[in-house]
Amino acid sequence: MEDRKYTIGMDLGTDSARAVLYEAAGPQAGREISVCTSPYPRWSEGLYCDPAEARFRQHPLDYLEAVETVLKGVISDCPDKDAIVAIAADTTGSTPCLTDASLTPLCLTPGHEDDPDAMFILWKDHTGEAESQEINALLPNFPVNYADHSGKLYGPENFWSKMLHVLRRSPRLREDAFSAIELCDYIPAVLTGCTGVDSLKMGHSVAQGKWMWSERWGGFPPEAFFNALDPVLVPFLKRLPKRNYPCQEAAGTLCPEWADKLGLSGKVFVGVGNIDSYSGALGAGAAPGRMVMNLGTSACFMNVVPDEVILGRIVPGVFGQVNGMILPGCDGFETGLSAYGDAFAWFKRLLGWPLEKFLPEKERAAAMDKLLSVLNDEAAKVVPDVDSPLATDHLNGRRTPFLNSSLSASFSGLKLSTTAPELYYALVESTAFATKVIIDHMESNGVPVEELVAVGGVSRKSPFAMQMLADVTGRRINVSAAMNAGATGAAVNGAVMAGLYPDVVSAQKEMCPPVLNSFEPDPSKERILAQRCIRYVETVKFNER
């Protein structure tokens, strides 16, 4: 057993946390040994959220309890616990939280226990929409566009919009909050026992992608920018870490509390945190020319371009562009849809409302699952013409190209004869049209897209949606065998951090799963889908008026 080394990757998603144990070095290097998943109980009950206000908050205890559960779960399956050398994590982002001076989330301190504004503000929370518009109105007044790395527009899903929103709402929060922390930085801080901003190793990916940090303007935007926006942010600006680090570096080692709790050595490295979509792209084999499509509640599309090709050029309208966020030596590009699986789940809930109201609880879940299965099967049989019902997909606004969080979705072309499968067809089709628009935008700006690789729950659960993507884009869709791409990517970074591989690409070759299956485009559908895509684009333009 002496030549075997193990790494653990953790993925803290929207609904649950997951850990994967890998044999990263040894006779069976790259073997996935164990997986453990834990849902968030408070989140699953809908606590602290209000979808009508686009408010989505998560309690830190959901995260902490899940982390302990999933780590203990995979560690119990490890053949040799002493051979575990690294733990690395990715999380949703931007998912920040106000903290006290010890980096403790404010809702874990007296007086803020039930305040949603003192909890983690989930990535898809849009309560800071008005604040993001203020930021965008201010940006042209400065010589540098500080939102360059988020497509020259700063959205409500990003850090400063969220912080400004909650700080303005509560004098007590302004008085008691010392700093703020991103979830992907919080988890490593907890595991390493970091209790101060001065010793916090902030992740580079989230700093540049979500917090307006860039080497080009010497870090965060200057104090003058925040004074012009709202001076309430200036004390927090001054307290933020001045440096940030790539996710192949160690944030530290397990602190005594967590080493004892997990039954591991205090010498186990803990990696700098990463964002889930970036980590998922790495775990699915991200490489130049390959777009990784993480198809979950939202859709995150990730591309990488070598530095010598992109030459630091900013692609307009892209949600995130960060050097080294996926592969060292490459610019990473984050695009995608703000609602993907969430859009399909909305339609299921809409049709299933009577079931939820009138069926006994025990029968309800099975009936809802069957409803979505039948919808997929029947929608796959729809043969549209140019004037068939058409949908736009912006149920949670548009992420890319060119952020517009206030944009709403629509259906058109409805008749008394329109059926539920036809509407569902149109909804799924709209997400494929949006994907094609993004691919066309990237390629027209010098980012090659030669291959599409899909990961995430929808890629496995809905052959109909995958075939639609292939037909609309006119490209083969390769579905990765990675069941846990985010956690796999974190484990890959952990293996590099621990020195088991010389670089990320070498670790990918050993640890990333192969292609599971593929979907080829149907040439017979090309003409009609191209015509319908033109209608889609025209409808989106109309909705933006």
- Lookup: tokens for 289: 């020319």
Task: Examine the domain organization and report whether 32 and 177 are in the same domain.
Answer: yes
* pLDDT confidence bin for 2, thresholds 50/70/90: low
What are the CA-CA distances from residue 185 to residues 95, 171, 272, 353 (Å)? 10, 26, 7, 39
Task: Examine the domain organization and report whether 121 and 192 are in the same domain.
Answer: yes
Amino acid at 46: G
Determine contact, residues 212/147, Cβ cutoff 8 Å: yes
Task: Examine the domain organization and report whether 112 and 16 are in the same domain.
Answer: yes
Q: Which of 300, 370, 319 is nearest to 155 (CA)?
A: 319
pLDDT at 411: 98
Domain that holds residue 408: 285-295+337-481+514-545
Mean pLDDT of 192-209: 96
Question: Does 149 fall in a domain?
Answer: no
Task: Examine the domain organization and report whether 194 and 290 are in the same domain.
Answer: no
- The pLDDT tens digits for 376-409 are 999 999 999 999 999 999 999 999 999 898 899 9
Question: Does 322 fall in a domain?
Answer: no
Question: Does 247 fall in a domain?
Answer: yes
What are the CA-CA distances from residue 475 to residues 277, 392, 435, 512, 529 (Å)? 22, 22, 12, 22, 13
pLDDT at 330: 95
* Mean model confidence pLDDT for the chain: 95
Question: Does 63 fall in a domain?
Answer: yes
Establish whether the linkage from the previous residue to 513 is cis, with ω within 30° of 0: no
Q: Assign residue 411 the CATH number of its domain.
A: 3.30.420.40
Mean pLDDT of 152-167: 95
Question: Does 352 fall in a domain?
Answer: yes
The number of beta carbons lying within 10 Å of the beta carbon of residue 483 is 18
Task: Examine the domain organization and report whether 384 and 476 are in the same domain.
Answer: yes
Mean pLDDT of 36-53: 96
- The pLDDT tens digits for 431-489 are 999 999 999 999 999 999 999 999 988 999 999 999 999 999 999 999 999 989 999 99
How is 156-213 classified by DSSP, letter by letter? Answer: TTSHHHHHHHHHHH-HHHHHH--EEEEHHHHHHHHHHT--SGGG--EEHHHHHHHS--
Task: Examine the domain organization and report whether 246 and 394 are in the same domain.
Answer: no
Question: Does 428 fall in a domain?
Answer: yes
Determine contact, residues 11/90, Cβ cutoff 8 Å: yes
Which residues are paired to 250 by β-bridges?
Answer: 271
Question: Does 541 fall in a domain?
Answer: yes
Establish whether the linkage from the previous residue to 94 is cis, with ω within 30° of 0: yes
Task: Examine the domain organization and report whether 374 and 257 are in the same domain.
Answer: no
Question: Does 487 fall in a domain?
Answer: no
- The pLDDT tens digits for 62-81 are 999 999 999 999 999 999 99
Sign of CA dihedral 459, 462, 467, 469: negative
Mean pLDDT of 16-29: 95
Mean pLDDT of 115-133: 96
Sign of CA dihedral 182, 187, 189, 190: positive
Task: Examine the domain organization and report whether 461 and 355 are in the same domain.
Answer: yes
Amino acid at 228: A
Mean pLDDT of 299-316: 92
How is 86-147 classified by DSSP, letter by letter? Answer: EEEEEE-SS-EEEE-TTS-BGGGSTT-TT-GGGSEE-TT--TTHHHHHHHHHHGGGSSS-TT
What does the DSSP 8-state code read for residue 313?
P
- Lookup: tokens for 193: 């026992």
* Rounded-to-integer distance, Cα 72 and Cα 344, Å: 34
Task: Examine the domain organization and report whether 434 and 545 are in the same domain.
Answer: yes
* pLDDT confidence bin for 1, thresholds 50/70/90: very low
**Does 269 have pLDDT greater than 80?**
yes
Task: Examine the domain organization and report whether 462 and 543 are in the same domain.
Answer: yes
Task: Examine the domain organization and report whether 227 and 289 are in the same domain.
Answer: no
Burial (CB count within 10 angstroms: exposed 0-12, middle 13-18, buried 19+), residue 224: exposed
* pLDDT confidence bin for 369, thresholds 50/70/90: confident
- The count of domains in the chain is 2
**Does 356 have pLDDT greater than 90?**
no
Task: Examine the domain organization and report whether 291 and 235 are in the same domain.
Answer: no
